[in-house]
Chains A and B, each alone.
Chain A
Amino acid sequence: KAGVTQTPRYLIKTRGQQVTLSCSPISGHRSVSWYQQTPGQGLQFLFEYFSETQRNKGNFPGRFSGRQFSNSRSEMNVSTLELGDSALYLCASSSSSENSPLHFGNGTRLTVT
């Protein structure tokens, strides 16, 4: 069974630009979550989508947005990039079962210069 796939693996952007990250979940998983990982803060929850609907949202500014498509694939968008947005962005999928673990992709490393 293929794991969670994230593209691209690396991105370098300039402050003020916008960026879109992509995630393909494990086949059959309908829940997709996004996390930001930085050395100082660890993993911080961004949002979670289930059947194309945002179910939960973390404490991030509105510049961070996402969506989920009917095939469960998800995208995350960050507009007006700031230097502090440099991080590893991780996508995770989980099954619909109660208390299912998250299964992570290898992330997109975003560097904002």
Chain B
Amino acid sequence: EDQVTQSPEALRLQEGESSSLNCSYTVSGLRGLFWYRQDPGKGPEFLFTLYSAGEEKEKERLKATLTKKESFLHITAPKPEDSATYLCAVQAPGGNQFYFGTGTSLTVIP
């Protein structure tokens, strides 16, 4: 069964303290792995798509990487405005259905 698992569930960081969020997946025929950011009371906001093992994408303080079984979202020198829930998702084969993890709630303390 296709599945996405994120860890940790919650993470508290001091401002400037770098860390990584993990997304492990099992899916037959990965078409893409997607990272989203969700702020309270809002819908998820698209960050990155990764398609193949070894691929990396960067945006400001965020860098996403992909292996054959997992993806990491690295956060370098985070700021309080990076506080949000980060979701990863994989696209199921043969359609436009996505499987989402339950997210990592990140809090960055000034």
Interface residues of A (CB under 8 A from B): 4, 31, 33, 35, 41-43, 45, 48, 50, 55-56, 58, 90, 92, 94, 98-99, 101-107
Tell me the dominant secondary structure on chain A's binding face: strand
Known contacts A48-B96, A56-B97, A99-B51; 19 additional CB pairs below 8 A are A31-B96, A33-B97, A35-B100, A42-B101, A42-B102, A42-B103, A43-B100, A45-B97, A45-B98, A55-B95, A56-B96, A58-B97, A98-B31, A99-B31, A101-B34, A102-B46, A102-B98, A103-B46, A104-B43
Tell me the dominant secondary structure on chain B's binding face: loop
What's the least CB distance linking A74 to chain B, in Å?
A: 13
Interface residues of B (CB under 8 A from A): 31-32, 34, 36, 41-46, 49, 51, 87, 89, 91, 95-103
Q: Is the CB of A48 within 8 A of B97?
A: yes
